[in-house]
Amino acid sequence: MAARQFDIAVIGGGPCGIVAATYAAGGGRKVCLIDRKPSPGHPVRCGEAIGLKGFASTVELKPEWIQSKISYMKLVSPSGITVTVPNSYEGYVVDRERMEKDLTTDAVARGAEFIADTSIVSVSSRNGDGYECRSRDSVIHAQCVILAEGVESRLARNLGWSTSLSLRDIHSCAFARIAHDGVEPGTCVFYLGVKRAPGGYVWVFHRGGNTANVGLGVLGESCQKGMPRTLLEDFIREKFPGARVSDLHCGGVPMGRWIRPLVRGGVMLAGDAAHMMNCVSGAGIAYALYSGKIAGTVAAQSFVNGKCRPEMLGSYQDQWASFYGKQQDRSHAIKEVMVGFPDVFLDDVARSATKNCARKMSILSIFVKAFYKRPLLLLKVVRLLR
């Protein structure tokens, strides 16, 4: 089998890989973007919510991607106390399929070659002369490889990374799209409580018209086989009886710390494959876009006289660590405390928020107020954040 030659191979054409390929090609290198799916963006396994800040300095948000502007956040406590607050950050629910298609077109316009319908089964070192990426019926040689194949990443493990997550650091999720007249426009709703989603929460994100993305995550250590799907179906039946349900999928969200190191030799890990995620919200699109950008940029810059110098790839980890990496470590510490919140505490928070005119507060200020009533818990959070 004749091998095709590239400077940089990006494996995985989700938001991370697409942006990595765009920046690597923009840096003047010969780049391929490989995805096992026949076309970009489908199927979508995501709530598709992202703040405007999440696009900052990576890609420009196109108005045609926007399905809904998030104006309100609503929390429903375990016993049903509802708190609605205005969304303090500009945020949207976007059409990820369309976004990924457009971004892939941009990557190709910058010079990257998109190789669809190709599942890479192994990546191996060529003894100092780059890497060999193999699918069942093709071989690609590249001097530098960016692994962006999402949370199910196997290739990284085979290259020596420890990618397993403890059951405390993974959410098992079920997700669906619904159409129902009870969907609240411009609102993201979160339902809390051990009965609805042990160690996690249920979310309903308005997606334009009478449609919404609905999903839930159950903490790995509380999860049993089939549980997320059953809980989701029960929830939809209860809250949106008779809803038209489509695109039901299950998947995992990494809720641990990002994998270190991010670089081994000429291979870089990025996005979900590197477990990059806000561990409180489970939001990873912004992290994927940003890590893709810096991985692609640094990869292109590491070429001197046509050869990749792996020792120059280290600045990728430094840049990640000093920006989103720090934020993720904080979110992980907060998640560790939140997992222990009993339902009575969450009801208490909701009750005190309704007394304090929540419409003028943010979600954060509601929790801060609740912590004041529990100084020991506050102390624990402060210690974890140091």
Chain contacts with ligand FAD (rule: CB under 6 A): 11-17, 34-37, 45-50, 119-120, 148-150, 173, 175, 215, 251, 253, 271-273, 277, 282-285, 288
β partners of residue 4: 140
Measure the CA–CA gap between 81 and 60, rounded to whole angstroms.
38
Report in angstroms the alpha-carbon separations of 208 from 54, 94, 179, 185: 20, 10, 10, 7
Indicate the residue among 212 and 283 with the shorter CB distance to ligand FAD: 283
- Maximum CA pair distance of the chain? 70
Indicate the residue among 13 and 27 with the shorter CB distance to ligand FAD: 13
Q: Do the Cβ atoms of 185 and 204 come closer than 8 Å?
A: no
Least Å distance, CB 123 to ligand FAD, is 9
The angle subtended at Cα 339 by Cα 338 and Cα 340, nearest 5°, is 85
Indicate the residue among 83 and 94 with the shorter CB distance to ligand FAD: 94
Least Å distance, CB 382 to ligand FAD, is 27
Least Å distance, CB 233 to ligand FAD, is 15
Measure the CA–CA gap between 277 and 330, rounded to whole angstroms.
11
What is the secondary structure of 255-317 as a DSSP string? -SPPPS-SEETTEEE-GGGGT---TTT---HHHHHHHHHHHHHHHHHTEETTEE-GGGTTHHH
Least Å distance, CB 47 to ligand FAD, is 3
Least Å distance, CB 185 to ligand FAD, is 17
Report in angstroms the alpha-carbon separations of 200 from 175, 286, 294, 343, 384: 14, 21, 31, 12, 20
Least Å distance, CB 260 to ligand FAD, is 17
β partners of residue 211: 179
Indicate the residue among 137 and 311 with the shorter CB distance to ligand FAD: 137
Q: Which 8-state DSSP code applies to residue 325? A: I
Q: Give the list of residues 6+ apart from residue 183 with CB closer than 8 angstroms, or none.
A: 204, 206, 210, 211, 212, 240
Q: Give the list of residues 6+ apart from residue 309 with CB closer than 8 angstroms, or none.
A: 302, 303
Measure the CA–CA gap between 111 and 96, rounded to whole angstroms.
22
Indicate the residue among 49 and 75 with the shorter CB distance to ligand FAD: 49
Indicate the residue among 87 and 354 with the shorter CB distance to ligand FAD: 87
Indicate the residue among 232 and 243 with the shorter CB distance to ligand FAD: 232
Q: Do the Cβ atoms of 8 and 24 come closer than 8 Å?
A: yes
Least Å distance, CB 20 to ligand FAD, is 9
Least Å distance, CB 75 to ligand FAD, is 16
Indicate the residue among 46 and 243 with the shorter CB distance to ligand FAD: 46
